[in-house]
């Protein structure tokens, strides 16, 4: 499979999305070795489980955000459900965020995007480039009719974010954001995973259809130990996601899986199938946060053959460090 790095950059021209720059590079990973992330740390900044042991005072919510740090680079993945959650939790954890320029929005849902403008505005005075580049997949700005109202807040957020000088970079396929760290862009739905709520509708170029969250994307890092995959909600299906990532990097094995997998309401049959597939990919670490589900994490841990040290329910402040493993915090040990 060829890796295509393609992006549409959206500027302040409104109301429509206007591609003002486009670049495409093609390469075959079987011929060219990808960059490796020599160091990697992923810290959860928004999820349902808050770890307030000791002097911590973090906030839990139905949402997701995580800070990825690699070889001196920082990347924020999603921005939480409430506008202030990521800012507050970062302060509680003594994490400085205003040096972050790039943010990945895994999909349009408000529990992953509501903190974008708050973060941008909070840091602009200190660093005009802070959170100035948001990486998205096609479909994130499509209309989601909800009766007489609009169900996609990203349509309004787009206008306000562009007004601050920020840009959206749209990825239809895998793209390297910083050396060794990639977004997947749009995910091929090879397997019929339905890791999304039924009944929603989205207005696509082909018309009104079921909303299977076509804009869902993930982040992955290529490391000397294997692939580290970070998902927001995994609406494309975690098996579809891992299949796409390992197809893009066929020399690499899955090493760690972190984030929301949207399995909290999955049947036993679905969980067994998912665990068998993930075990086949060789996953060694699992941090199931946000919409994964507590029981689902335990079921996956047992089925895959992981331990309480290598598979945990993610809490705010929990981290995964390459070469060290999971630092779960007191609540999830």
Q: What is the pLDDT of residue 183?
A: 98
* pLDDT tier at 7, thresholds 50, 70, 90: low
**Strands 145-146, 3-10: pairing kind:** unpaired
Task: Please say if the pLDDT value at position 19 is more than 70.
Answer: no
What was the pLDDT predicted at 27?
41
pLDDT score of 103 more than 80: yes
Task: Place 26 in a pLDDT band, splitting at 50, 70 and 90.
Answer: very low
* Per-residue confidence (pLDDT) for residue 9, from 0 to 100: 60
Please report the pLDDT score of residue 54 as a whole number: 64
For 226-255, what is each residue's pLDDT tens digit?
A: 999 999 999 999 999 999 999 999 989 999
- Residue spans per domain, the chain: 3-327
Average pLDDT, the chain: 91
At residue 199, the pLDDT reads: 87
Give me the pLDDT at residue 21, please. 30
69-81 confidence digits (pLDDT tens): 999 999 999 999 9
**Is residue 4 predicted with pLDDT exceeding 60?**
no
Q: What is the pLDDT of residue 8?
A: 60
Determine whether domain 3-327 maps to CATH 3.60.15.10.
yes
- pLDDT the model gives residue 202: 97
Predicted local distance difference test score (pLDDT) of residue 17 = 34
Mean pLDDT across 273-285:
97
Whether the predicted pLDDT of 172 surpasses 60? yes
Give residue 31's pLDDT band: very low, low, confident or very high (50, 70, 90): low
Q: What is the pLDDT of residues 281-329, one digit of tens each?
A: 999 999 999 999 999 999 999 999 999 999 999 999 999 999 999 999 8
Burial of residue 1 (CB within 10 Å: 0-12, 13-18, 19+) is: middle
Residue 154 has φ and ψ, to the nearest 5°, of: -65, -20
pLDDT digits (tens, 9 = 90+) for 181-231: 999 999 999 999 999 988 899 999 999 999 999 999 999 999 999 999 999
Q: What is the pLDDT of residues 109-166, one digit of tens each?
A: 999 999 999 999 999 999 999 999 999 999 999 999 998 899 999 999 999 999 999 9
């Amino acid at each position: 499979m060829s890796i295509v790095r393609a992006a549409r950059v959206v500027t302040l021209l409104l109301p429509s999305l206007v591609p003002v720059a486009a670049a495409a590079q093609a390469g075959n990973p079987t011929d060219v070795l990808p960059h490796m992330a020599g160091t990697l740390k992923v810290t959860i900044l928004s999820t349902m489980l808050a770890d307030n042991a000791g002097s911590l005072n973090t906030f839990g919510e139905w949402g997701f955000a995580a800070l990825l740090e690699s070889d001196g680079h920082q990347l924020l993945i999603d921005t939480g459900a409430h506008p202030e959650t990521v800012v507050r939790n970062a302060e509680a954890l003594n994490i400085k965020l205003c040096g972050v320029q790039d943010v990945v929005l895994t999909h349009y849902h408000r529990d992953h995007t509501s903190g974008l403008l708050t973060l941008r505005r909070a840091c602009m005075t200190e660093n005009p480039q802070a959170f100035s580049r948001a990486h998205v997949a096609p479909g994130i700005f499509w209309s989601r009719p909800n009766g007489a109202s609009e169900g996609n807040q990203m349509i309004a957020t787009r206008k306000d974010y562009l007004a601050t000088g920020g840009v959206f970079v749209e990825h239809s396929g895998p793209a390297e954001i910083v050396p060794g760290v990639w977004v997947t862009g749009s995910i091929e739905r090879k397997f019929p995973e339905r890791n999304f709520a039924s009944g929603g509708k989205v207005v696509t170029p082909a018309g009104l259809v079921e909303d299977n969250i076509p804009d869902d994307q993930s982040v992955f890092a290529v490391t000397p130990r294997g692939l580290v995959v970070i998902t927001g909600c995994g609406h494309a299906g975690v098996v579809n996601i891992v299949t796409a990532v390992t197809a893009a990097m066929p020399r690499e094995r899955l090493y760690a899986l972190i984030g929301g997998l949207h399995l909290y309401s999955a049947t036993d049959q679905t969980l067994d199938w998912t665990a068998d597939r993930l075990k086949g990919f060789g996953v060694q670490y699992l941090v199931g946060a946000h919409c994964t589900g507590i029981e689902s994490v335990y079921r996956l841990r047992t089925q895959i053959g992981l331990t309480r040290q290598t598979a945990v329910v993610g809490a705010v402040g929990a981290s995964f460090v390459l070469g060290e493993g999971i630092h779960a915090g007191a609540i999830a040990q």
